Chains A and B, each alone.
Chain A
Amino acid sequence: MIVIENVEKRFGETTVLKRINLTIEPGEVVTILGSSGSGKSTLIRCINGLEALSGGSITVDGNDVSTKAGLAAARRRSATVFQLFNLYPHMTALENITLAPINVLKKPRAEAEARARELLKLVGLADLASAYPQRLSGGQRQRVGICRALAMDPNYLLLDEVTSALDPEMTGEVLDILAELARGGTTMLFVTHEVEFARRISSRIVFLEQGELIIDMPTERFFAEDGGFAVPRIRQFLTKMKKD
């Protein structure tokens, strides 16, 4: 379980996150929606320890991310997929996927590689194990990024606008895989602009507005006329996203 309690994040004078409370139970797919600059990505970066909290606390399966040991344990339980893929450019797809399993989980190389090939096959990239990131399309890179995250056998998958840098076709490739994972019961925290997709796969939707969590609803309620849609800001957001 990921428990986010009263989390505050300030950059200098700017408050990016204001007293955020959110709990993610195993098996849930929670989507975070909100405009650019609403603090969605920052929230993900607080969970995986890339940003230090200004206040409040975050625990991942009971491990407090603000302590060194807690963060190390939390990072073993979660894995992040990034907007810009962030693959290691000097390593092949296979090496990208096996680096952390070998060095962090201390898996034997053969075992790590077998698992990596299995994952690559799952995302349709079995033939590209020895390709370097530069040779891959954006969608392929992101699929390798997803394999790299899954190879750590995470309890939680943190997805930070993973399709924002992709064209619609490639976005489709990546979303199909995520939908598959969601069906398989992977717990996900999903920051996205893909509203329709979020509606399809998430169990819950939260909405951030200028650093405040203003809505936390089951997906159906969120889109219902008398639910989230009844909130003027949400209606405005959803209508606008539909037009784009």
Chain B
Amino acid sequence: MLEGFLLTVFACTLAIIGAVIIGALMASLRTSGNRIVRGVAFAYSDVFRNTPFIVQLFFFFYGLPEIGIYIGAFETGVIALSIIGGAFVSDVIRSGILAVDQGVIEAAKVSGLSRWTIFTKIVLPIALRTSVRPMGSVLINMVLTSSILSTITINELTGTAKIVASTTFKPFEVYLVLLVLYASLTYALSLLINTVHRRLNRAMDTGGAA
């Protein structure tokens, strides 16, 4: 099961990076002044948050090849997980963006900084710092959701556990170990998130006291 465990860690790491990038981008678009841009970004997160992940996954894995888009199972899984994660992460970062102190933004405006500079150097960096902790539960959910990748032939942790359980006829032991492994994985992730939160917010009074 070690290989499966490592594959889960690998897939989740890629998907979390993807989700944070997509989430930051979508959150930025959702706070844009342009109505169309905002609409598209809202539609993205609404569609993906309001449909079951397994259906999205099947759509990408079984549906896309029919219209000529072929990507491997692992890639499909990581992309699908990034997309759904990104939809939830964008919610968190968007709240972070909206919570940035207006006074700080006003100070930046009157000093003549461009909207782009204000957003990239002030608003987004502050929002990302305040978002780390609330993002935690989203990222942990992504790790748990990654077990569904086993349904599209990816032998990650749950996939290998299934195989081991059916060959050893010891489902109790196997699935118990599986539960413990997922629990340790998410616990490690939450420790990591706390560390990142402390690092980034050490200097900054963001209201989110540790």
Residues of A whose CB lies within 8 Å of any CB of B are 48-50, 72, 75-76, 78-80, 82, 84, 86-90, 92, 99-100, 103-104, 132-135, 148, 152
Distance in angstroms from B193 CB to nearest chain A CB is 19
User: B110–A90 contact, CB under 8 A?
Assistant: no
Residues of A within 8 A of B106 (CB): 50, 82, 86
Given A86-B101, A99-B121, A103-B121: A132 and B111 interface contact (C-beta under 8 Å): no
8 Å CB contact of A134 from B103, B110, B203: B203
Distance in angstroms from B97 CB to nearest chain A CB is 14
Given A103-B121, A133-B205, A134-B205: A87 and B104 interface contact (C-beta under 8 Å): yes
User: A75–B110 contact, CB under 8 A?
Assistant: yes
Residues of A within 8 A of B84 (CB): none
- How many chain B residues touch A (CB < 8 A): the figure is 22
Known interface pairs A75-B110, A82-B103; 8 further A-B residue pairs with C-beta atoms within 8 A, sorted by A's residue number: A86-B104, A87-B104, A87-B107, A89-B126, A90-B122, A99-B111, A103-B121, A134-B203
Given A79-B111, A80-B110, A89-B126: A134 and B204 interface contact (C-beta under 8 Å): yes
Given A90-B129, A99-B121, A103-B117: A49 and B110 interface contact (C-beta under 8 Å): yes
Chain A minimum-CB-distance residue to B103: A86
Distance in angstroms from B112 CB to nearest chain A CB is 4
Bound form: Cα–Cα A135–B204 in Å: 9
Residues of A within 8 A of B203 (CB): 90, 92, 132, 134-135
Bound form: Cα–Cα A24–B206 in Å: 38
Bound form: Cα–Cα A223–B110 in Å: 33
Distance in angstroms from A98 CB to nearest chain B CB is 11
Residues of B within 8 A of A99 (CB): 108, 111, 113, 121
Distance in angstroms from B122 CB to nearest chain A CB is 6
Distance in angstroms from B123 CB to nearest chain A CB is 10
8 Å CB contact of A132 from B104, B107, B108, B204: B204
> Does B125 sit at the interface, judged by CB under 8 A?
yes
Given A82-B106, A103-B117: A88 and B122 interface contact (C-beta under 8 Å): yes
Q: List 18 A-B contacts (CB under 8 A).
A: A78-B110, A80-B110, A88-B107, A88-B108, A89-B204, A89-B205, A90-B204, A99-B111, A99-B113, A99-B121, A100-B111, A100-B112, A132-B204, A133-B205, A135-B203, A148-B111, A152-B111, A152-B112
> Does B109 sit at the interface, judged by CB under 8 A?
yes
Distance in angstroms from A69 CB to nearest chain B CB is 12
B120-159 at interface with A (beta carbon < 8 Å): 121-122, 125-126, 129
Given A86-B107, A132-B204: A103 and B113 interface contact (C-beta under 8 Å): yes
Bound form: Cα–Cα A79–B106 in Å: 12
8 Å CB contact of A76 from B103, B109, B112, B126: B112
Chain A minimum-CB-distance residue to B105: A86
User: A75–B104 contact, CB under 8 A?
Assistant: no
8 Å CB contact of A88 from B104, B109, B110, B112: B104
